Chain A
């Protein structure tokens, strides 16, 4: 299930805002759709992004998918363990499989993102081929 304390995007990323830091990952639904993840490309620390900007790619055996920032900010940490062993994104997408940590921009705004309930509703609609 999708944790209530996270915010979600329609491109299936999540962000956990904690003070001025935002931790970003992909959802359980996303990892299931991709299948076993074998490659992960993440930015360097220090990179600055706007919201909804491509910050990396995730690849499974079958598919490649771009990753988009839910909020604006500067990369302060990347999950090196996930780069080395991308399978942990499948195993624990909301925990050990996080991707990057951002220092949020002063104008970063997570309020416009989806709540867990809204995201679940969105996934159901998407699956029904809406």
Chain B
């Protein structure tokens, strides 16, 4: 059994006291002291798949990109086509290096033609802020607004039923990846129909001072739905089943958007953007490796960083866990493209032992259509 990690000065969200009160186990996550679990990862995972779960994701970063040239700036900084976004709509995108690899993955919210909210990964926020500010040209202002927002994710098939009873206007009719200003439990918030779980769900951006009250109201009101507070442990198993990439695990500044199987956020036809040339060159030359989903054929869990061995050369496991929904070990791996087809057998080295694995279709879990 391992030794505990050394103590460090960690940042806390406005919900820290509530997590402690709810009996959460706290861990260091990218410099933030966050709940990894309350009742248990499997139980929380199930709550989100079957009912509704609440997550504190206040550690996420929020950048404002505003001004007459904000659209042009975001077009140049991100690979997805921001000109296609309408007011009140969101898309998934990234900041890429000139090599087409990830500085971060992110969501772009369009408030208006000259006003955008960019939501980034917690531990990348300072880097992303500098990255965007240094490269945004013209009449555009980039501001780190992370301290102004707490963020509560309400996720699961019963999330709309729960949130609608506390919200004006009712967020039930929000389209997927849509958002609007909403009053939740009497507080001014921005509600978006987004999430990181593969379920229907919402994210509530509120003022830090309102977060505790909103979370408590959702817990009380959600008794009827069987609501559960959920930690980062369940967030990880949920996102992995939905094959949503995690920065720092599956993607980073060594992995290109094409290698990450995220070609759908790359829109070279829109014009120039950072990373475009490298990505076009990689596509023309052939993408050498690909992020794929796999299941273990042998016993054991393949975890981040474990070496993979294919008939076409080496690869690496980027994420791995026990899938609570499927009841078996799953994971993501970067494998040589020639060995990335569904059904391909390969080996993972689990602590010195070779264990058989097989490429499978993804996502591992797809929510039942309503």
Contacts and interface: CB of A to CB of B under 8 A. Distances in A.
A61 B4 contact: no
Nearest to A127: B4
Interface string B2-22: 111011000000000000000
A38 B233 contact: no
B301 A64 contact: yes
Contacts of B351: 57, 64
A32 B157 CA distance: 30
Interface residues of A, number: 25
Contact of A39 (B25, B237, B301, B324): B301
Contacts of B300: 39, 41, 59
B165 to A, nearest CB: 32
Contacts of A126: 3-4
A77 interface: no
B299 interface: yes
B42 interface: yes
A38 B36 contact: no
Q: Which residue, A34, A62, A67, has most C-beta atoms of chain B within 10 A?
A: A62
B1 A41 contact: no
B1 A35 contact: no
A129 B4 contact: yes
A11 B299 contact: no
A26 B237 CA distance: 25
Contacts of B41: 35-36, 60-62
Given A35-B233, A38-B322, A41-B300, A61 B42 contact: yes
B63 to A, nearest CB: 30
Interface string A53-65: 0000101111111
A33 B6 contact: no
A30 interface: yes
A19 B300 CA distance: 34
A16 interface: no
A75 B301 CA distance: 25
B93 interface: no
A32 B150 CA distance: 30
A65 B37 CA distance: 18
B78 interface: no
B1 A61 contact: no
B40 interface: yes
A127 B6 CA distance: 11
A61 B233 contact: yes
Interface of A: 11-13, 26, 30, 33-36, 38-39, 41, 57, 59-67, 126-127, 129
Interface of B: 1-4, 6-7, 25, 36-37, 40-42, 233, 236-237, 299-301, 303, 321-322, 324, 329, 351
10 contacts: A12-B1, A33-B1, A34-B1, A39-B322, A60-B41, A61-B237, A61-B324, A64-B301, A66-B1, A67-B1
